[in-house]
Structure 1
């Protein structure tokens, strides 16, 4: 599922836009496949899609899905972190993706998020998942911890994106097919 791109289009991309240019076609395919699966288990569709990606695309895909949601606001950062952590396969894939790109700083932030959420008894599965964005309003200690992590996340994310962009540039074959 390598993304095809014209050489001229690729050459005009700003370096910080490379990650998005490799992600956006993938997320469109993903959303279309999930939408087409109107009956039955969507988990199988998601897993089949994921298996079609290269290792680099997987790492890029899971990070971008998380980042695009978590970067919206403090409440979204909290909820999406809890939601993905309640899905151990996805949470592990996000962390593995950061390891794949060699991004120790963002990986450390995710590990700290995990510690905070576990300390506050957040669910480790979607069964009985009742986490609400409003939970932060009810727990000042949780709010303070998440707020600090959110600030660090926002400060670190541009470096993460730069690391991913540089990786893609050095390993284009894993993400892109440049056409004349």
Structure 2
């Protein structure tokens, strides 16, 4: 298990409103730009709570618009195959509303871009400009996501605060 190392003084300054992010942010920086093997080696060392938090933020930090939700959802499903871990992370925190929302996003992307043979059409932000139905569906999911994600983050923050030893090593 990898835990974020910090001094007691650093620990005391942690913002309780973003403690879950602060506990995985150093890990994301460690693997940013690295190859798959390096990323997988890190992921393999995380406990379930860390992995759940890490995977949520890997997705969440890329979702700043409906177009990004569309593109990154497909990317995590079809390209790097991380979608099951993202969904499992949300289930770890027992957030059924967010789980349903991710399933809805997946359904839209799969219906639109997965071919009968299981291969994928490329997802492009311009898809939303060219397909009004897709644009409306993805925008509706994104609007819900913006509303629902803060509640999941609050749940993660509360969990981390109650289980610090799973995330932080005081040095």
Give the Cα separation in 2 of the matches to 1:123 and 1:2.
41
Matched-pair contact (CA < 8 Å) for 1:122–1:131: no
Structure (1 or 2) with the greater helix fraction: 1
Deviation at 1:115, TM superposition (A): 1.4
- TM-score normalized by structure 2? 0.90
Match of residue 15 from structure 2 = 14
Matched-pair contact (CA < 8 Å) for 2:71–2:125: yes
Q: Secondary structure at the match of 1:4?
A: strand
Give the Cα separation in 2 of the matches to 1:17 and 1:5.
16
Give the Cα separation in 2 of the matches to 1:123 and 1:132.
16
- TM-score normalized by structure 1? 0.85
Q: CA RMSD in A?
A: 2.2
Match of residue 5 from structure 2 = 4
Q: How does 1:1-180 map to 2 (within 5 A)?
A: 1-31=2-32, 34=34, 42-70=35-63, 72-87=64-79, 89-122=81-114, 130-179=122-171
- Structure 1: gaps (5+ residues): 35-41
| Residues paired across the two proteins, number | 170
